[in-house]
Structure 1
């Protein structure tokens, strides 16, 4: 490429810069004859016997366009570079065998796989291997193993699936706090371990649709026995499905494995229902129990704010001082990503919620947030401590405050868009108006109309 006067070229786009960089890199591998470009590779002297005594490899690139020639050149340079570097075979392993098949130009399959292939597929595989055999006159031991399918694919027990899944898919918990990431991974680990407990430690590469259906039937049986609801059963199946697909796609893509989860239906008997909301009598009894000297002030404030906003413990404990806005026409809290959390449950959850009644009084006492609970396990601590206050009244949880607000608003004259804005649910067309002063006033009015007078 050095003979091309580059100052004659005007290029600003990245593809052009890449083109000239590749041209300089591959200049010694590119030849032009009668306007047609060819790939030229000089074999190192000490390796010529491996290539049948050849000094050079020459292949037509089938183009007169230099840019296209360089694009076609790249994989050939990579392939022959690897071929010359592979003269010393080294230890015979599956990974090395798979790598050898790759630079020889075909996807590795062990010999026993040919017995189960359709005739057309097996002929295509044999044809690829025969074409690859022409590349080197004296293939090394690993290359011979690759050509003959002599190495079996090492099994991947289901008991090792979780560790590999976590290793190859770290982005699954991107932007989550350490505690939320731990919980997210734990759900996968638990469900995969449960599969092993029920079905045995099978080889992931040999799972069949019949095996997965059998597991599904066992889960359904446990639903009928009242062990858990269908949503939980479906999660067992779904977590296993996701982990298997991610690992197989990452580590075994070339094997074209049959997906054993394909066309296996999920489990949904419409038995989930919803979490119960607090009745007004229950809310009053709980509020009365908050007066006990055993209840710390931060927990009491969290109860009172949740009671009149429907916000969850997770949303409240991570608020910063900037999220508690008291010097505003409509005092409110901002539920949003901040220094304490990188994300919320979904894209609709960021919102401004007016503070009314006891919720406003509680926020005024804690304008800087809740340092006692603003920590990785904070929401769990709230749930555990809240249970000691709630359980003597009813068999519900702190989350029931959220459902209480929904029930109250549905039974008032509140518009759906106001309810959704307060709860963080999706509303078509709300985005452009969300959180402005006028709408905050409307949200405050909607809450006042929905809440009982003593709230």
Structure 2
């Protein structure tokens, strides 16, 4: 009898066959009927197959012990179902609830019964083979919590608290809409008819006949898409990967994508940069507006600058747009292509000299900045049309680069857009970036800062 180690953890070979063999942790020993030692025949002499089955049982036990220590009913029910599926797979079966097992061909039923014929077979293994656990009736609202806390946990880990809050807020709108229209149904009870019911709700909002305000196709598309994703990922999470999605194909096409217009270049140069125009704004908000104008950055990228990414002492003063990896204070950026260096020229350089540590009033509060700045621009008639927003300054920056015939690839780099070709080299030096940006820099009166 030889006990294996490391990659062959919890495997024991006896008389040619492998066994899953491990001690129940002390913390749950009083709760697990198999304690103190788990002995489970894997019914194979093939090491690779034994490892695969061991992995399934190890995962199932990890989940099982976790549920023994939790008081959350939904978490326990879901985990119990997932554990049963994993144990069934380790036995070589597709997990099926007892009602479906009863309708299987006789030879398949006998094969399942035979696999647990040893009188020492644990009850949890018998339950898995014979389908003793029904899929739990988890409501849509509860499934959304599972989606956030388990399924997308890794994705949310790098976000700041504010980013997590905003992400959840947007995603939850689809669930709120479904619950309002259809009800807070159990996920397993949602049918194609319910999917169509939600779809028709959005059809009426996109083409209202009662005089209410028309919603955009992109909004309906997003809400239907978020429900489709929730349904698909929830059932994959619990192991039910072949379930038909009732929201498949129910979407809306956009004939025209709404785009925010840029400010005319002369409007920014002659009106916004005119001394006194922004005097009524608080100093930080005014500074952010001016930096946005001369960097083309996104509002959140400038609002969340901090001293470590503001490089005023370098030969080429610049800012770094990058994720914040501090586990105590993380922050995600929009895309990988958004990671970039932006030289500070013109008024942007002077503003950052005044705010070398960033803009603390708006850290993690870019929405507050957008609201405050937007309100000021509207009240002072600084938007050329009702379609313009503060973000339009970013579009103006790109127009200015186009007018100066700055290389298309460099424009994409400075804007944080994806460069649509294989990447070779570093993309150019900061000195090159600075020289190109100086072609479009606005003259300014220091009084505007």
Matched, 1:164 2:141: no
CA distance in 1, matches of 2:56, 2:318: 64
- 1:393-404 pair list within 5 angstroms: 393=381, 394=383, 395=386, 396-404=388-396
- 1:113-152 pair list within 5 angstroms: 123=104, 127-134=107-114, 135-136=116-117, 152=134
Task: Pick closer, same or farther for the CA change 1:289–1:166 going to 2, 3 Å.
Answer: farther
2:198 partner SS: helix
Residue 262 of structure 2 is matched in structure 1 by 277
Residue 266 of structure 1 is matched in structure 2 by 251
Choose from 202, 209, 219 the match for 1:219.
Answer: 202
Q: TM-score with structure 1 length normalisation?
A: 0.72
Residue 243 of structure 1 is matched in structure 2 by 230
Residue 32 of structure 2 is matched in structure 1 by none
CA distance in 1, matches of 2:339, 2:426: 13
Task: Pick closer, same or farther for the CA change 1:444–1:329 going to 2, 3 Å.
Answer: farther
2:336 partner SS: coil
Return the offset for 1:341.
Answer: 5.0
Deviations 1:169-195 (A, max 9, x none): 211312111100111111121211111
Deviations 1:392-438 (A, max 9, x none): 32233221111111222223322211211221112235662335244
Residue 443 of structure 1 is matched in structure 2 by 436
Residue 27 of structure 2 is matched in structure 1 by none
Residue 360 of structure 2 is matched in structure 1 by 371
How large is the Cα RMSD of the aligned pairs?
4.1
Matched, 1:30 2:14: yes
Return the offset for 1:233.
Answer: 1.3
CA distance in 2, matches of 1:366, 1:76: 55
- 8 Å CA contact 2:56–2:87 kept in 1: the answer is no
- 1:338-349 pair list within 5 angstroms: 338=324, 342-349=331-338
Q: TM-score with structure 2 length normalisation?
A: 0.73
CA distance in 1, matches of 2:172, 2:392: 28
Structure 1 unaligned blocks of 5 or more: 5-14, 32-36, 43-55, 82-92, 116-121
- 8 Å CA contact 1:309–1:355 kept in 2: the answer is yes
Query: Which deviates more, 228-237 or 427-436?
Result: 427-436
Choose from 302, 319, 323 the match for 2:305.
Answer: 319
CA distance in 2, matches of 1:172, 1:355: 32
Choose from 392, 406, 413 the match for 1:414.
Answer: 406
Matched, 1:231 2:218: yes
Structure 2 unaligned blocks of 5 or more: 22-38, 62-76
Choose from 397, 420, 424 the match for 2:416.
Answer: 424
Residue 85 of structure 1 is matched in structure 2 by none
Residue 351 of structure 2 is matched in structure 1 by 362
- 8 Å CA contact 2:57–2:87 kept in 1: the answer is no
1:268 partner SS: coil
Residue 118 of structure 1 is matched in structure 2 by none
Task: Pick closer, same or farther for the CA change 1:112–1:276 going to 2, 3 Å.
Answer: farther
- 8 Å CA contact 2:318–2:341 kept in 1: the answer is yes
Tell which structure's C-alpha radius of gyration is larger.
1
Aligned length: 393
2:341 partner SS: strand
